[in-house]
Structure 1
Amino acid sequence: MMQHQLAVQARFRPETLERVLRVIRHRGFHICAMNMAPGLNTENINIELTVASPRPVELLFSQLSKLVDVDRVEIQQPTSQQIRA
């Protein structure tokens, strides 16, 4: 499986993290690492994710971008590191 790093900026609402995690799971990605911190203002949060899957990360990128509370999604750095499941 390939690992990918994503940065998500979203509105700080109770259901936002739950929606992001549900999309990741439904698209067949596994979370390897996650870090969440408040944004510059109190209305936003920054979520940094490391996910793994044999599927293309662009699939996850497009689905996360469609979420209502998500303002921005970036693929940080494509890694060629493969992990064994």
Structure 2
Amino acid sequence: MTQHQIAVQARFRPETLERVLRVVRHRGFEICAMNMESASSSGNINIELTVASPRPVELLFSQLRKLVDVGHVEIQQQTSSSQQISA
């Protein structure tokens, strides 16, 4: 299974994170790690997701871009899960 790191910039609203997580689940991706922080004074949030799936990440990317409160989505890195195994 391939892991992908995705950065999402969105407006800070109570339902935004819920919508992002719902899209991830509906597209068949598993969340391996997540970090969210608010941007300084712009009223936005930055969400960093590490997701895993055998499906193409472009499916998730295109759906996240369609969300109303999402301003920017970027695929940052792709790794295979075999590289993530630690002793």
TM-score, scaled to structure 2:
0.90
For residues 21-60 of structure 1, give each alpha carbon's deviation from its aligned partner in whole angstroms, at most 9, with x where no partner exists: 0000000000000000011324100000000000000100
Matched residue of 1:41: which SS?
Answer: coil
What aligned pairs does 1:53-68 form with structure 2 within 5 A after superposition? Answer: 53-68=53-68
- Residues 12, 42 of structure 1: 8 Å contact kept: no
Aligned match of 1:2: 2
TM-score, scaled to structure 1:
0.92
Aligned match of 2:41: 41
Q: Which runs of 4+ in 1 moved over 4 A?
A: none
Unaligned runs of 5+ in 2: 83-87
Whichever of the two has the greater Rg, that structure is 2
- CA distance in 2 between counterparts of 1:40 and 1:63 reads 26
- CA distance in 1 between counterparts of 2:75 and 2:40 reads 20
Taking only the aligned residue pairs, the percentage that are identical comes to 78
CA RMSD of aligned residues (A): 1.0
Higher helix share: 2
Matched residue of 2:74: which SS?
Answer: strand
Aligned match of 1:19: 19
- Residues 2, 78 of structure 2: 8 Å contact kept: no
